[in-house]
């Protein structure tokens, strides 16, 4: 199974680290189909866009409030570039308007902070459900 790339976009360092630690814990506990992921970090929208183009991610965790742009605007750009990319929006304060706008812009799911194990697991399982795992190409010596 190909190792999926996860892009974590949040200006708060420990929020990204918390997400990464918990996704790794889910794989260690064998609660996910994938056994490994590669992670990329972005602390603002411009850095996220650069990484998005250089290391196209399969899954993005995207905070709705970023220092240099709205997360919703960034979501639209991501979906324009690669409509198949799975984006989980994250918000500290959920309002119906945020949820509606995220759905309209193509978000696959919406996580309301504070994080919980169940929220992260639900998002990861949804990602695995909606994306077909790619078979590994074996290199025979």
Partner 1 sequence: MSQTKQILIAEDDNFMRTLLEAQCRNLGMQTKAVPDGAEAVTEALSYQYDILLMDIQMPVCDGLTAMHMLRRLGYDRPIFAMSADDIADSGFNQVLPKPVDIQLLADLLQQTPQHKSVALVLDTELITLFYQNLRQLSVEFDNALTAGQRETLRQICHKIKGGAASFGEATLAELADKLQQQLLSDAPMDELKHSCQYFAEFIQQFGDRNA
Q: Which residues bind partner 1 (CB under 8 A)?
A: 10-15, 17-18, 21-22, 25-26, 29, 31, 63, 65, 67, 92-96, 99-100, 103, 107-123, 126, 129-130
Please give the C-alpha separations between residue 96 and each of 15, 35, 63, 99, 136, in angstroms, as whole numbers.
Answer: 23, 35, 16, 5, 41
Question: Considering beta carbons, is residue 65 or 82 the nearer one to partner 1?
Answer: 65
Copy the structure tokens of residue 112: 């309301």
Residue closer to partner 1 (CB basis): 33 or 53: 33
- Residue 25, SS3? helix
CA terminus-to-terminus distance, the chain: 19
Q: How far is the CB of 2 from partner 1 (least distance, A)?
A: 22
Which tokens sit at 130?
């909606």
Select 1 or 103, whichever has its Cβ closest to partner 1. Answer: 103
Q: Of 118 and 141, which has the nearer Cβ to partner 1?
A: 118
Q: In the complex, what is the shortest distance from the CB of residue 136 to partner 1, in angstroms, rounded to a whole number?
A: 26
CB of 102 to partner 1, least distance (A): 8
Virtual CA dihedral for 117, 68, 72, 108, nearest 10 degrees?
-30
């Amino acid at each position: 199974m190909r190792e999926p790339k996860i892009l974590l976009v949040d200006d708060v360092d420990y929020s990204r680290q918390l997400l990464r630690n918990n996704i790794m814990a889910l794989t260690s506990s064998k609660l996910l189909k994938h056994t490994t992921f590669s992670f990329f970090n972005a602390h603002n929208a411009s850095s996220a866009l650069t990484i998005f183009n250089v290391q196209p991610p399969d899954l993005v965790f995207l905070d709705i409030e970023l220092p240099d742009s709205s997360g919703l605007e960034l979501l639209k750009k991501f979906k324009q570039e690669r409509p198949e990319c799975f984006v989980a929006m994250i918000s500290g304060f959920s309002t119906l308007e945020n949820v509606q706008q995220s759905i309209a812009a193509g978000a696959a799911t919406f996580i309301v902070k504070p994080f919980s194990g169940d929220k992260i697991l639900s998002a990861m399982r949804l990602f695995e459900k909606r994306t077909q795992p790619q078979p590994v190409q074996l290199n025979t010596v």
